[in-house]
C-alpha cells in the first residue's frame, strides 16, 4: 500500500520510467548501455515506491503507553526547555528518519488535539541542534488521558521540502492514527512530562505506532 501523499509523484515517476525505458530501447544500440540505463531507472523507481509505502500498523491503544510516531532511529533523549507551547521543561525524545524509512507520522497517544501550528523555516540537516527551532516544522499537542498534554513536532530535513499536518484543534484522535507526512528525510521530536519512564535507548531503531517510547 502506498500513501496518498505520494500518488502524484508516483504517477510522474512511472511515466518518466516508461518514457525513459522506451526511448533507451529505441535509440541506444549498445546492449550493455541499455541495461545500465534500465538498471538506474528501475532503482530510482523502487526508491520512490519504497519512500511512499504505507504499511498497516496496529497501535496498542493503551493510554498508559506512548508509541513512536515514526519509523527511524532514536537520536535524542534529554531534558529540555520547550519554548513554543509548554514554556517549561520537558523530556524530549527525537527519532531520525532516513529517506528509506516509512515517513507517515502517527499520533503517539490518543486524545483531543489542543494545538496545531505550522512554521516555515530553514532546511538544516535533521540532526542539527537548531533544527527543532529553525527548520520548517509543524507542532501538534494532544491532551491524553494519562500523560496530560504531549507534543510531537515534525521537522523538515535537508531534503524535506514539504511537511503535511492533518491535525485540527478540537479533533479527537486515536493512538497510532495518521497525523501527517514528511517528504524526503526528516525527524520527529516528542515532548513528554518530566518523570515519564522512557522505554527506548539512544540509537535504538523504532517503528511508528508499534514501538513503545514511554510509559507511566
**Residues that are catalytic:** 186
Nearest Cα to Cα of residue 97 among 122, 66, 131: 131
CB 159 within 8 A of CB 99: yes
In whole angstroms, how large is the CA radius of gyration of the chain?
Answer: 19
Full DSSP string of the chain: -B-GGGHHHHHHHHHHHHHHHHHHHHH---HHHHHHHHHHHHHHHHHHHHHTB---------TTEEE-SSSEEEEEEEEEEETTTT-EEEEEEEEEE-TTS--EEE-SS-EEEEEEEEE--B---TTSTTHHHHBSEEEEEEEETTTEEEEEEEEE-SS---EEE---TT-EE-TTSEEEEE-SSEEEEEEE-TTPEE---TT-EE-TTTSEEEE-
- Cβ contact 121:130 at 8 Å: no
Amino acid at each position: 500500500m502506498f500513501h496518498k501523499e505520494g500518488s502524484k509523484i508516483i504517477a510522474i515517476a512511472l511515466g518518466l520510467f516508461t518514457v525513459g525505458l522506451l526511448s533507451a530501447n529505441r535509440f541506444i544500440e549498445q546492449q550493455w548501455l541499455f541495461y545500465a540505463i534500465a538498471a538506474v531507472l528501475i532503482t530510482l523507481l523502487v526508491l520512490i515506491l519504497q519512500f511512499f509505502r504505507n504499511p498497516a500498523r496496529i497501535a496498542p491503544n493503551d493510554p498508559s503507553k506512548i508509541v513512536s510516531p515514526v519509523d527511524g532511529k532514536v537520536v535524542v533523549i534529554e531534558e529540555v526547555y520547550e519554548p513554543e507551547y509548554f514554556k517549561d521543561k520537558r523530556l524530549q525524545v527525537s527519532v531520525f528518519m532516513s529517506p528509506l524509512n516509512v515517513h507517515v507520522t502517527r499520533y503517539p497517544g490518543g486524545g483531543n488535539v489542543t494545538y496545531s501550528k505550522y512554521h516555515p523555516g530553514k532546511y538544516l540537516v535533521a540532526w542539527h541542534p537548531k533544527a527543532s527551532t529553525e527548520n520548517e516544522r509543524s507542532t501538534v499537542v494532544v491532551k491524553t488521558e494519562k500523560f496530560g498534554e504531549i507534543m510531537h513536532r515534525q521537522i523538515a530535513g535537508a531534503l524535506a521540502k514539504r511537511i503535511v499536518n492533518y491535525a485540527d484543534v478540537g479533533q479527537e484522535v486515536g493512538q497510532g492514527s495518521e497525523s501527517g507526512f514528511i517528504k524526503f528525510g526528516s525527524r520527529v521530536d516528542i515532548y513528554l512530562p518530566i518523570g515519564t519512564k522512557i522505554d527506548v535507548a539512544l540509537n535504538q531503531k523504532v517503528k511508528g505506532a508499534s514501538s513503545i517510547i514511554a510509559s507511566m
